[in-house]
Structure formats: structure tokens, C-alpha cells
Copies of this chain bind each other. A is one copy, B any other.
Amino acid sequence: MHQSTITDVAHAANVSTATVSRALSGTGRVSEKTRRKVLKVASELGYMGNSIARALRSKHSGIVGMIVPSISNPFFTALVESVEHELQLVGKTLFLCDSQGDVALEARRLRSLQESHVDGILISPCHGIESVTALNNIPKSIPVVQLDQFVVGTATDWVGIDDEKAMELVLSHAAQQGATSAVFVSSASTNSSTQARLAGFLKHSETHGISVEPDDIMLGRFSVEWGEKVGARLLAHPKMPDVIVCGADIIAFGIIRAFTAAEVSIPGRVMLTGFDDVAFASIITPSLTTVRQPTRLLAAEAVRLMSQPPTEGVKAHAKVAFAPQLIIRESTTRPAGGDATRTQEFTS
């Protein structure tokens, strides 16, 4: 009682396998009568294609691989959902891989995607430098788009946001709220997002006359735990900055947790900003001022780039940066009384 194959259908319908294939896939010429017969027989036999065999012969699997550093970071979850939605529109399937922020695992995932002959790869590389080897090992025959993160020294398309502009929005808002000193908390600077955001932070804090000490750049990991650790460190420190600028919402969550436990008020004692605008940013107390990434747009563009026919010879690789959006919430606004959930939005 095995799964029936195209041969079984061909026998039962008294035609050749070629005709069955044509009838089922809609390619090639088949008479209406035969088509109906084949369809009927196929459904009677409960025929269900074998995508492995199809992929082997036809050279494309209809599957797109996506590698992200951490599926439990809600920013990536949202990105994945957007990508999945876009892929559905073009009839492709998503194969999601978590590299757990580990370059070696990332390389293994990449290799396995190549062995699976996926039709394309979307990747948020986990390391701005060490990921370069794995990325450059991918044959040019398979389209690759880097998403969010970017690795220098690679020749692929990239889609992300304008991190410097984002920091300009954050710091100009902070300055407006009266900040004159700031600290920056993010992942290790081996991460391209952190690099760009840090550069923007330094540039625009200067522009707005906000002081930053060398010790005020605290780089660790994109995790709640790192935020909590930094929070504890800041609490132990004699002088508190006016604003804590984070490279990711989940880091800011850790800081909120530490400060709430110590009953230090945000934004009363210090203002706080995040990055990504994940769902919880609006739920947490205080609700978090943050930079929203347009995941829908990022995903749509990445899928579009990936679906483009590979150009011959040398290719100019697209670098598409979308405009970020500042979402102002409680963590940077003194409670002026009234509705605590009101949100102002500000587009660059």
C-alpha cells in the first residue's frame, strides 16, 4: 500500500507517464478529454507528486532558504513572517534556519541549503567579519540577498534600513527632550547593524551637543540578559546619563527589568530608547520609544531582488536602505498627564 506514483496513474489512465506529467502540470499539449481522465484517475488513486523527484529532474525546488541569527528575537520572527507572506505570493516555500549567532553553525546551514539546491537564500549574517567565508563560498548560480545585517567583502544584494538616519531621529528627539548626555548599548561591533548604529550615534550625539564618554559605549549581545547586565552596571555607576540608546528593543527590555527592580524611574530618572519596534515595545511599562523597521517592505524587496533573473557577467549589487520611523512612547516622554498609551509617530 505504497504512495502511488506517476507510473501508477499512467497505467490506470491508459496513457504514458509523459502525458500524465503534462496533464498534471499544465505544461505541454493535452486534449481536454485526456486531461480530465488523468485528473480523475489521479485523484482516485490519491496521487500526490513527489517533489524530490521533481526537483531532481527540473533543477528547481521552489524552496527559498532563510538564515537568521535567532528565531527567538521577535524582530526576526516578524521579518520571517513578512518574508513568508511575500514568498507565498510568488508560490515559493520558506525553509527557515536558525544560526544561533554561531558562525560555524551558520556555515553548516548554508552548506546544507546548497546541497538541497534551494532556489535562493536570504540571510541575516550573524557576524560582520567571520561570516564572509561562508557567504563567499556560495556559488554565483544561486541568488543570495543579505537582509538587515551586512557583511563587508561580499558580493550580494542587500536590503536593510538607513541606520544612521535612525540614530539621527533618536538623538534629535532625545535632544529635544532635553538630553545632554547619552550612552549606547548594543551587541558586539562585529555586527554590521551595531557598527552603523554606533557610527550614527556618535555622529549625531555630537551634532546635537550630547556628551558621550568612551566608557559609555557598552557592547555585548542582542539579548535581554545583556540589557539587564548593563542596567545593573549603570545603577552601580555614580552618574546616570540622560538617555540610554539601545541597538535593539530586547536589550532595552533587560534595562527596564533592572531599573524596575531597583525602582528607578524611566523616563523620570533616565530616558530609554530601543530599536526594531517589536510587539512588546508597546506593551511593556514604560512603553518603549523605538525605531520601527518596515519589515514588510524589507521582505518584499528582498524577495523581489532574489527572484530577479541572474544577470550575465559582472553584476552591480543592489544595496537598498529603507527609511526608518521613530515611534515615540513613554520611555522618553515625561508623563504630561492623560492617556499613557498615546503614541506619536514621526517619519523621517
Given A260-B340, A261-B339, verify A116-B72 contact (CB < 8 Å): no
B71 lies within 8 A of A74 (CB): no
Pick the residue among B51, B81, B340 that contacts A115 (CB under 8 A). Answer: B51
Residues in chain B near residue A279, CB distance under 8 A = 72, 224
A280 within 8 A of B: yes
A61 to B49, CA, bound (A): 16
Pick the residue among B72, B93, B253 that contacts A77 (CB under 8 A). Answer: B72
Pick the residue among B52, B72, B339 that contacts A117 (CB under 8 A). Answer: B52
A257 to B282, CA, bound (A): 8
Per the 8 Å Cβ criterion, residues 46-65 of A in contact with B are 48-53, 55-56, 61
Per the 8 Å Cβ criterion, residues 208-240 of A in contact with B are 224
Question: Considering only CB atoms and an 8 Å cut-off, how many residues of chain A contact the other chain?
Answer: 48
Per the 8 Å Cβ criterion, residues 248-267 of A in contact with B are 253-254, 256-257, 260-261, 263
A209 CB, nearest partner CB in chain B, Å: 33
Residues in chain B near residue A2, CB distance under 8 A = 141
Which residues of A are at the interface with B, using a C-beta cutoff of 8 A? 2-3, 48-53, 55-56, 61, 71-72, 74, 77-78, 80-81, 84, 93, 95-96, 98, 111-112, 114-117, 139, 141, 224, 253-254, 256-257, 260-261, 263, 279-280, 282-285, 339-341
